[in-house]
């Protein structure tokens, strides 16, 4: 059976978050190890799925891209939520996304979003504005050295057609001003992987874009056994109507 579904950006973030929470590496680390959820818009959805409750997602973000006049919620944003680190499923308030690395071990999980995605080569890119490299600069050495699982939730809306390593090099040239691009690799979770891990279907990016709130949306072709496709359609129905992310 083959069917098509359309997901807005917010619906994709919710679906991806559900997928991240369900992958075996995260399940194991939530039970027996440490899971770091770095700040970010998509990661705020991931945090909700792992905690099992809603938060004001504006309070758990890092750098964002907005129009010149961003749309805002009616209620003002409260102070930021401190970094959330789970140890055996419980919030370890004494740790943050930097200090947790010291106590993490092989098989633990570090969740970090991305700003660009080369899906073919399975490489993501993170925009870096901090001269010290931000979260990636502080954490990547320990992640690699300790064989920590780097999980990268990223929507297909962030696809780029250039090699991200080439984009990184473009940003090192003398005439460039702006955020740098840091290529990272790990367990990439897009809408495709989320649908596969949650329902067993195979998904293909079929088209993209829209208007009247569907800007940045993705149209996916899903295929598989009848019961799996039906489960995927029900899953998509469950995330339909996810509110847009407003500041």
pLDDT tens column, 208-227 = 999 999 999 999 999 999 99
The answer to whether residue 143 is domain-embedded is yes
pTM to 2 decimal places = 0.97
User: What is the extent of the structural domain holding 113?
Assistant: 15-190
Flag whether 134 is in a domain.
yes
pLDDT tens sequence across 159-209: 999 999 999 999 999 999 999 999 999 999 999 999 999 999 999 999 999
Inside any domain, residue 203: no
Confirm whether 233 is domain-assigned: no
Go through 104-141 and write b for each residue having 16 or more CB atoms within 10 A of its CB, e for each that does not.
Answer: beeebbbbbbbbbbbbeeebbbbbbeeeeebbbeebbe
Report residue 164: phi and psi, to 5°.
Answer: -65, -30
In a domain, 232, yes or no: no
DSSP annotation string for 102-143: HH--TT-EEE---SEEETTTTEEEEEE-STT-HHHHHHHHHH
Alpha helices in 52-86 (DSSP H): none
Residue 22 covered by a domain = yes
- DSSP class of residue 58? G
Q: In this structure, is residue 216 part of a structural domain?
A: no
In a domain, 71, yes or no: yes
CATH of the domain at 50: 3.40.50
If DSSP states are collapsed to H, E and C, what string results for 151-168? EEECCHHHECCCCHHHHH
Domain count, the chain: 1
Model confidence over 2-46: pLDDT tens digits?
Answer: 999 999 999 999 999 999 999 999 999 999 999 999 999 999 999
Rounded to 5 degrees, what angle do the CA atoms 173, 119, 65 make?
Answer: 60
Look-up of token digits 């809603």: 54
């Amino acid at each position: 059976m083959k069917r098509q579904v359309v997901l807005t950006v917010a619906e994709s973030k919710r679906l991806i978050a559900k997928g991240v929470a369900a992958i075996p590496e995260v399940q194991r680390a939530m039970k027996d190890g440490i899971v770091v959820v770095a700040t970010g818009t998509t990661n705020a959805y991931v945090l909700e799925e792992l905690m099992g409750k809603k938060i004001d997602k504006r309070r758990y973000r890092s750098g964002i891209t907005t129009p010149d006049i961003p749309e805002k919620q009616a209620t003002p944003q409260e102070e930021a939520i401190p970094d959330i680190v789970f140890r055996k499923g419980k919030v370890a308030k004494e740790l943050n996304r930097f200090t947790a690395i010291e106590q993490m071990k092989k098989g633990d999980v570090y969740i970090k979003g991305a700003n660009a995605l080369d899906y073919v080569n399975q490489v993501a890119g993170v925009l870096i504005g901090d001269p010290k490299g931000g979260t990636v600069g502080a954490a990547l050495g320990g992640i690699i050295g300790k064989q920590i699982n780097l999980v990268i939730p990223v929507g297909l809306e962030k696809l780029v057609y250039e090699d991200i390593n080439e984009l990184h090099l473009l940003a090192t040239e003398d005439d460039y001003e702006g955020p740098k691009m840091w290529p990272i690799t790990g367990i990439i979770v897009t809408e495709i992987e989320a649908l596969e891990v949650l329902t067993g279907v195979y998904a293909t990016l079929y088209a993209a874009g829209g208007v009247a709130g569907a800007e940045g949306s993705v149209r996916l072709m899903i295929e598989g056994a009848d019961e799996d496709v039906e489960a995927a359609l029900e899953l998509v129905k469950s995330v339909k109507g996810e509110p847009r992310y407003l500041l």
